[in-house]
Structure 1
Amino acid sequence: MGSIVPFQDLNNPPPPPPPQNPLHIFPKIEPKVEPLDEPPPGIPSIFTSNSIQNPTITDPDPLQLFPVTDITSNANENENDVYSEFYRISELFKTAFSKKGGAQQNYHENNNNHEVEEEMLEDPNTTATPTTDCLSIVPVSQQEGGVVSTDVVTKRQLSFRSSEMVRVSTLGPEDQRYFRDLVRRSRMLFESLRILSIFEEDKGRNIGILMKRLRGDLKAAALMRDKGLWLNRDKRIIGNIPGVCVGDIFFFRMEMCVLGLHGQVQAGIDYVPAVRSTSGEPVATSIIVSGGYEDDEDQGDVIIYTGQGGQLKNTTKQSVHQKLEGGNLALERSMFYGIEIRVIRGLKHEGSPTNKAYVYDGLYRVVDSWFDVGKSGFGVYKYKLVRMEDQHEMGSAIIRFAMEIRINALATRPKGYLSLDISNGKENIPVFLFNNIDADQTPLCYEYLPKSVYPPFTFQQMGNAGGCHCVHGCSEDCYCAQKNGGEFAYDRNGMLVRGKPLIYECGPFCSCPPTCRNRVSQKGLKRHLEIFRSRETGWGVRPLDLIPAGSFVCEYTGVVLTRQQAMVLSMNGDGLVYPSRFPERWSEWGDISQIFPDFTRPTYPSIPPLDFAMDVARMRNVACYISHSSSPNVLVQFVMYDHHNVLYPHLMIFAIENIPPLRELSLDYGVAEDWGEDKLTICN
């Protein structure tokens, strides 16, 4: 990579001669803005036509729109009271979201103020810090050919986002896991706060009027900012962000800002401004390609990207000529120095909270730039970006490929399918079985079990036990809500708000309709899944749909055995699944203790120690093929709905991160010794 050296200041070129043709007319620089994240139906957005006064503003600072105050709690901590959790969370949000000052919608025009004042996150739960032996951060040198290795930086207090550019040159396996887990937990916290804030606001829990205008993603980002939980703020990383993988999917621009992947709330080009660059020249670090600009051309590995400036408001058409400054100059300078650019693609996706998804597609280099006449007849700067080699397949290409599989699997992949529905119609959606590795057909030898089989005595305790008497749908004061501690575990979109020891769903004893918001996991599959053969994990499971964080995936089924029955079968060497050995990963989903120090994980509804096993040696479902991982992307949540014996709950699987299509599902089975074997060989 070339070094950054002082260069002619192209931000202040000499005045052009009197215009003799339209190409000599230059407008004031404007950002190449991207379409704004649309909130879910019924959720207001801060970016309304009344709030944007100046269309030339590039990057509003959403974290200056409202104050985030210190958090205290006066909640009565009574764990025996079924309403204790209700009041505790209510009080936390009451104090966190109370208005103590006027909200300011301040959009800065100066590029110096486009950067958000944040800090880098230090992991509070571990003392392990990568060293230079395994992680080398290389500053972009200002001396010709100079490359300097430095130690991993620690937390620094910065008033602005840093302009010091570094590159992560080497990353060992341990550090890859460390940073991946750091990113995973940061994203989990962001999504938990976003869902929980919307959940609280829907119930009108003491949130100020001005706060109601803010989307959940902005609230989550602001709360994390106030605690210094934004990543990569004290160094501007060139190239890949540690812990962010090619193919990762995001639903909100603010989440990418939190991770440092793309630091602009609306502008499509993220760059270090010339006035803050040590070389005196702007340098681009990432771009977002949404395909909504008339002069853009996206062929996957090759992109013709149009510069910023000159677009008509709320359109993709040019109205005046572009100028070589700001992001345009930054891309040209990145080409001159050979600096790689992170490319994020914006896609329409109906399954996301905003009907849009952003996928990280890896690193590109700008290999050419020129000034051309665009389709609207005005001058535009164009940049040719070519994808760098030796990277994982583009996430956007995988999404399109998965869509083709769902439409016509045999035409897309003529070889490898053993079954187009291993459930034989027992699931709502067909479950594919694919193996292009070897001749193994083991999953065909088992009977597919869509729901667990419980001993008859489990249902004898029902008696005359009743349910709720809601007619049109359950409310927060109904019988089933009280059993859950005064509120439901799901929001109105069916997302898990936070994990609990046990969740009571409405069941056959209830009068509410099938569309009740408290009937989520009992309805079976809602997304396409595929059992596949892997060289790394044996048999595994991967989705063909995008699975949002917090959504239900499937049930873990088997034949439920008592302790005595399990002891007999274990003597014969049959593999059994013991629900008590699954770690309490449910406690991580919705854990906001980093933001709210007084937060304690839910303890109600309580559940006694589980002492039963599930036999999956002859009958099983798709969940039994999910692989093990100490950093999983799904978790087990205990749920009750069809009986009242808390000793035998259902094992429901929920996503704890946004899972792209064709990415393998992973579940934490606990310590390998607890199972008696290395992982679950019963499934592989």
Structure 2
Amino acid sequence: METPNASSENVGLDVKPLRTLSPMFPSTYGINSVSQSNAHPFIYISPSEHSSFPPFAAPNQPVHSTPIHATPISNGPRPNLYSNGTPTFYSPSIDLLDEEDEEVLPSAQTSAFGRKIKKPSHLGGYQVGSNSVTDGSTSTPVKTPQKKKPKKVQKIDSGLVPSLLDPRDSVEIVLMTFDALRRRLSQLEDGKEGKNSRPDLTAANTLMTNDLRANRGKRIGSVPGVEIGDIFYFRMELCIVGLHAPSMAGIDYMSAQFNDGDDTVAVSVVSAGGYENEETDTESLIYSGQGGNANIDQKLVRGNLALERSLHRGNTVRVIRSVGDYTTTNGKIYFYDGLYKVQSSWVEKGKSGFNVFKFKLLREPEQSPGLAIWKMTQQWKDIPASRGRMILPDLSSGAENLPVCLVNEVDDEKGPSHFRYSTKVAYLRPLNSMKPLEICRCASVCLPGDVNCTCAKLNDGDLPYSSSGALVSRKPLIYECNASCCCSSNCRNRVTQKGVRIQFEVFKTRDRGWGLRSWDPIRAGTFICEYTGEVINKINLEVDNAEDDHYIFQTIGVDEKAFKWNYGPELLGDPSADYSSENLGPLPIIISARHMGNISRFMNHSCSPNVFWQPILYDHGDEGYPHIMFFAMKHIPPLTELTYDYGMSNGAGSRMTRKCLCGSPKCRGLFG
């Protein structure tokens, strides 16, 4: 259906054509910085407390699919930006709020980075480094803000700093560190009166204070290290990876000089459900302009004007969509849907009866699917029979809490070799002959901060899981409450023993046999499954040689990256935990899932895994033979293969070394 425009007789609004209205673009809050259009993502550690800003790296890597000939609009003298033939853009570090979003925040609230958010003038924004506020026609003197003394930057573990040559690694470590800090802050606040209800803001502030961030500077087009389909549980995650700078505003924009003059264009939009957007189509988005929440007409200013300018300039705009999720605090998950272009714009009356700007954005062709994946998996969950190329609707035959679909979209193979599905581990001796665990006497449930809880004491004084059931940090061994404890089954310290809570499918890969993936998004720290099978001893393993057994689990090496998943205690002023392969030797437990097992037997190896294993005890106290539980190392989008690092060992009785086909940029070439 043809989209109406501003002059349509059906609209009947007395409005001027969009391009005849006076622009109103405030400079964003923050500090001016210049980033080349092909700027490389990085994490920077200030070398001293007197160094406030990092240098900007600029490897040769294009960032937008369509050439945009633009240079920055700067407050000062402009250097020779075309000396190397590459345009550069002006941009601030991070935006706070646009005027129209001020009403969302309480008057006393601070920004994510510790600044008080003051109500801006209705005439426009503050010019950084200038002494005026402007709406395009008037000028009012204001006090020039004074520079503040830089905060002292703490010494950071060098293990938190990724290689500057790998943008994906940079983004992943920033997100991993952010979420680890957020989980730890939540754990520290649990049980306190007047606790911090926004640990995500505190975590982001901590990263910014320590100059830990990827992709400084705004850019048109793709963001290095961020892939289509990547998921985010907090708006601040979009900010710290450079995908969308405003912490609340839905439209991000930047100033640039094009061949025919200066202009300000949109670089990204977030469709979060707060406005009357139309987003059912996987290849287009009808985006409502910002402002007008207080029952007034929207104005062609700031983000609205930037989107209209993008229509005129034809630049690509990053689109971040959201989907509902009842497990999250705000009820939604954000995901990057790819590059779009503004096709048309118009004005219409919204449900409130006031004028609303509308923008139609079309998705650029030949991109990986974004919203289409979410719609497809949701349909499968609603109607499992709609899953194409299905072999079995439930591989577990009802043994799991949710059915495990078996599919093959590669060839005609009808399934994996025969095995007995089991959700339990078969030990060499009965459980009742093993050392018992200590018990807690907590009434109803174990509470955070309870100094009398025996199970908390076993876990170094803290309950290991958040209120949502996410693992806070990896440890050498975790103790869950057991059957003899006085607390109920609803206790937060009983996570893994309740079984799988995610809808999985076993699928045929192209070159690595069968694999495992999920129809659901998986949040970092979420319990995946247990590695089940038959516990065997080392003697039997050596006798059988096990060279043809592809289903052996051994703790032959500690995945160093799994311990880097922890919260980086030095960022919070805590002593670093000394967890490494040097002081954590291999456990004696060896599990074979060749003849019996569960979905874990289908998890393939990767040198860049998204899952890690964690030893846990809950039904016996023999620390050498714990349950091997798997947790998500990072946020995992739907239909992403789940993998963990099998490790490397050439010792006798271990798995045979095999060639690795994981395809990771950091592939070791071998595993086992």
Give TM-score, length-normalised by structure 1. Answer: 0.72
Select the residue among 622, 627, 632 that pairs with 1:650: 627
Deviation at 1:453, TM superposition (A): 1.2
One-letter amino acid of the structure 2 residue matched with residue 468 of structure 1: C
Question: Secondary structure of the equivalent of 2:549?
Answer: coil
Matches within 5 A, 1:91-110: none
Deviation at 1:215, TM superposition (A): 0.3
Deviation at 1:226, TM superposition (A): 0.3
Q: Deviations over 1:71-129 (max 9, x none)?
A: xxxxxxxxxxxxxxxxxxxxxxxxxxxxxxxxxxxxxx99324457899743679xxx9
- Call closer, same or farther: CA 1:450–1:302 in 2, change over 3 Å: same
Q: Is contact 2:438-2:455 (8 Å) kept?
A: no
Matches within 5 A, 1:74-85: none
Q: Is contact 1:132-1:150 (8 Å) kept?
A: no
Question: Secondary structure of the equivalent of 2:177?
Answer: helix
Q: For residues 471 and 381 of structure 2, what CA distance do their matches in structure 1 show?
A: 26
Q: Deviations over 1:611-638 (max 9, x none)?
A: 3321122112101111222222111011
Question: Secondary structure of the equivalent of 2:517?
Answer: strand
- Call closer, same or farther: CA 1:372–1:158 in 2, change over 3 Å: closer
Q: For residues 508 and 249 of structure 2, what CA distance do their matches in structure 1 show?
A: 42
- Per the alignment, residue 135 of structure 1 pairs with 61
Question: Secondary structure of the equivalent of 1:112?
Answer: coil
Question: Secondary structure of the equivalent of 1:601?
Answer: coil
Q: For residues 599 and 519 of structure 1, what CA distance do their matches in structure 2 show?
A: 28
Deviation at 1:214, TM superposition (A): 5.0
- Per the alignment, residue 397 of structure 1 pairs with 372
- Per the alignment, residue 581 of structure 1 pairs with 557
- Per the alignment, residue 555 of structure 1 pairs with 530
Matches within 5 A, 1:441-480: 441-443=414-416, 445-456=418-429, 459-462=432-435, 466-475=438-447, 476=450, 477-480=452-455
- Per the alignment, residue 391 of structure 2 pairs with 418
Select the residue among 256, 259, 265 that pairs with 2:247: 265
- Call closer, same or farther: CA 1:141–1:508 in 2, change over 3 Å: same
One-letter amino acid of the structure 1 residue matched with residue 179 of structure 2: E
Select the residue among 25, 33, 43 that pairs with 1:122: 43
- Per the alignment, residue 293 of structure 1 pairs with 275
More deviation, 328-337/519-528 = 328-337
Q: For residues 444 and 454 of structure 2, what CA distance do their matches in structure 1 show?
A: 14
Select the residue among 611, 636, 648 that pairs with 1:671: 648
- Call closer, same or farther: CA 1:230–1:133 in 2, change over 3 Å: closer
Q: Is contact 2:251-2:268 (8 Å) kept?
A: yes
- Call closer, same or farther: CA 1:566–1:131 in 2, change over 3 Å: farther
One-letter amino acid of the structure 1 residue matched with residue 596 of structure 2: M
Task: Name the structure where helix makes up a greater proportion of residues.
Answer: 1
Q: For residues 165 and 93 of structure 2, what CA distance do their matches in structure 1 show?
A: 30
- Per the alignment, residue 176 of structure 2 pairs with 188
Deviation at 1:486, TM superposition (A): 1.6
Q: Is contact 2:474-2:614 (8 Å) kept?
A: yes
One-letter amino acid of the structure 2 residue matched with residue 428 of structure 1: N
Deviation at 1:591, TM superposition (A): 3.1
Deviation at 1:213, TM superposition (A): 4.9
Q: For residues 633 and 160 of structure 1, what CA distance do their matches in structure 2 show?
A: 29
Over the matched positions of the two proteins, sequence identity in percent amounts to 35
**2:207 matched to 1:231?**
no
More deviation, 366-375/656-665 = 366-375
Deviation at 1:246, TM superposition (A): 0.8
Which is bigger in relative contact order (C-alpha 8 A, separation at least 6)?
1
Q: Is contact 1:176-1:243 (8 Å) kept?
A: no
Unaligned segments of structure 1, at least 5 residues:
1-19, 30-108, 164-173, 314-318
- Call closer, same or farther: CA 1:320–1:493 in 2, change over 3 Å: closer
Q: Deviations over 1:536-589 (max 9, x none)?
A: 543111111121111111001121111212211226743432123352444122
Q: For residues 631 and 333 of structure 1, what CA distance do their matches in structure 2 show?
A: 41
Give TM-score, length-normalised by structure 2. Answer: 0.73
Q: Is contact 1:130-1:152 (8 Å) kept?
A: no
Q: For residues 91 and 286 of structure 2, what CA distance do their matches in structure 1 show?
A: 39
One-letter amino acid of the structure 2 residue matched with residue 254 of structure 1: M
Deviation at 1:301, TM superposition (A): 0.9
Q: Is contact 1:363-1:388 (8 Å) kept?
A: yes
**2:478 matched to 1:519?**
no
Matches within 5 A, 1:140-539: 140-142=68-70, 178-204=166-192, 212-213=195-196, 215-233=198-216, 235-272=217-254, 280-294=262-276, 296=278, 298-309=280-291, 311-313=292-294, 319-374=295-350, 378-394=354-370, 396-410=371-385, 412-413=386-387, 415-443=388-416, 445-456=418-429, 459-462=432-435, 466-475=438-447, 476=450, 477-539=452-514
Q: For residues 326 and 259 of structure 2, what CA distance do their matches in structure 1 show?
A: 40
Select the residue among 111, 127, 133 that pairs with 2:26: 111
Q: Deviations over 1:272-305 (max 9, x none)?
A: 2589999542111001123443365652212222
Question: Secondary structure of the equivalent of 2:285?
Answer: strand
Q: For residues 295 and 680 of structure 1, what CA distance do their matches in structure 2 show?
A: 46
Question: Secondary structure of the equivalent of 2:333?
Answer: strand
Question: Secondary structure of the equivalent of 1:522?
Answer: helix
Q: For residues 422 and 28 of structure 2, what CA distance do their matches in structure 1 show?
A: 58
Q: Is contact 2:456-2:463 (8 Å) kept?
A: yes
Q: For residues 571 and 222 of structure 1, what CA distance do their matches in structure 2 show?
A: 51
Q: Is contact 1:470-1:512 (8 Å) kept?
A: yes
- Call closer, same or farther: CA 1:457–1:386 in 2, change over 3 Å: same
Question: Secondary structure of the equivalent of 1:365?
Answer: strand
Q: For residues 515 and 597 of structure 1, what CA distance do their matches in structure 2 show?
A: 33
RMSD: 4.1
Deviation at 1:325, TM superposition (A): 2.5
Q: How many pairs are equivalent?
A: 551
- Per the alignment, residue 95 of structure 1 pairs with none
Deviation at 1:361, TM superposition (A): 0.6
Deviation at 1:351, TM superposition (A): 2.5
- Per the alignment, residue 84 of structure 1 pairs with none
